[in-house]
Amino acid sequence: MVNVWYNIAAMRDKVVTRGKPFQSKLAPYEAEIRDLKASGASIRAIAAEMTSRHGLEVSHNAVASFMKTHGLSRKSFLDGISETRKRELLKQLKAVWTHDSTSIEGNTLSLGDTMAVMDYGLTVKGKPLKDHQDVVSHAKGVDFVQSLIGRKKITADDVFALHRIVVGEESRDIYRPVGSWKREDNGTYGAENGKSVYMPYATADDTPWLMDDWLKAFNKALKVVKTQEAALDAYLFAHVSFVRVHPFFDGNGRLARLLANMPVLAAGFPPIVVPSEARLDYIRELWDYQRAVGVVSLANRELLPEPSRLDNLRRLVKDWWQTTLDLVAEAKGSAK
């Protein structure tokens, strides 16, 4: 179950490299190769692009070897799909992911509106400017997360960079910084037995230490998660434990749904998208779990206690995942 995060050992494949003129040629362009890989480009297409951009004249075999050496040759749900269909599928997945994630936070744009904003930069009459900005920012957040896939380690600075992309660069005030852990305590309200109840998250003072714990577990999962079931467990752990801490003043839900997909994508699967129509079930499951296990703190440091309480949420998430799995299956079927 989700406690797989506690049991996985830090493992790293050892790759032997041989005399490597192409290694030194390609090394300065690792970030570009990573981005091309994330965009769905084939190895041959990457080799051609490196030759076009930098005159390297490297073969696809050289690129394949370089990618293997640098941990970039992971399997991908895009494998076996034509270049044109890959681009369309990635656009489709990004639109669905962006629409549903922003809708959960109250965005009023429809899926069609979201696609118009993302694809053509259009504005929708009668809709708030903030809704348009949130869509554009989330889409950029998806791109940023994909660019991180294959990295050996994700740092707090990476999480801060994602926060700036998703929420916006400008800080609200000194107590509500963008790109930094929260500086004041936060919480949320819910209803229990007909009464309004306040539920606090981790304190601002505890947050940096708790997020250090979260990043250590997160980075282990990025290295070792391989199967679909393990990817589902890693998503749940990353998502729920991130929300328990609630490390930012704003944007925590969107960041949780983005970051938690990194082990999923790294293991070669399409993203898990929480559908907007399931918003109430989703919020209720998170609320019930957090109320049951209490506030995470340095005194009560376990990030995901009593994981069996998440069994129902796990079943829901597994069902929700089927939407993007079906989109990929459809794309692969159309290629035959």
Per-residue pLDDT in tens (0 to 9) along the chain, 336 residues = 544 443 433 333 333 334 356 667 888 888 788 777 766 677 888 888 888 888 888 888 888 888 777 766 667 899 889 888 999 999 999 999 999 999 999 999 999 999 999 999 999 999 999 999 999 999 999 999 999 998 889 999 999 999 999 998 766 678 889 999 999 999 999 988 899 999 999 999 999 999 999 999 999 999 899 999 999 999 999 999 999 999 999 999 999 999 999 999 999 999 999 999 999 999 999 999 999 999 999 999 999 999 999 999 999 999 999 999 999 999 998 755
In a domain, 1, yes or no: no
pLDDT of residue 4: 45
pLDDT of residue 73: 60
Given a contact cutoff of 8 angstroms between Cβ atoms, the answer to whether 230 and 266 are in contact is no
Residues 62 and 91 in one domain: no
* Sequence-ordered list of residues with C-beta below 8 angstroms from that of 316, at least 6 positions apart, any chain: 278, 281, 282, 285
In a domain, 6, yes or no: no
In a domain, 126, yes or no: yes
pLDDT of residue 221: 93
pLDDT of residue 152: 83
Q: What is the pTM of this model?
A: 0.82
**Cα dist from 16 to 13, 186, 204, whole Å:** 10, 49, 45
Domain count, the chain: 2
Of the candidates 28, 45, 69, which is a domain's last residue? 69
Residues 210 and 259 in one domain: yes
Please give the residue range of the domain that contains residue 48: 17-69
pLDDT of residue 75: 77
Residues 194 and 232 in one domain: yes
Residues 126 and 54 in one domain: no
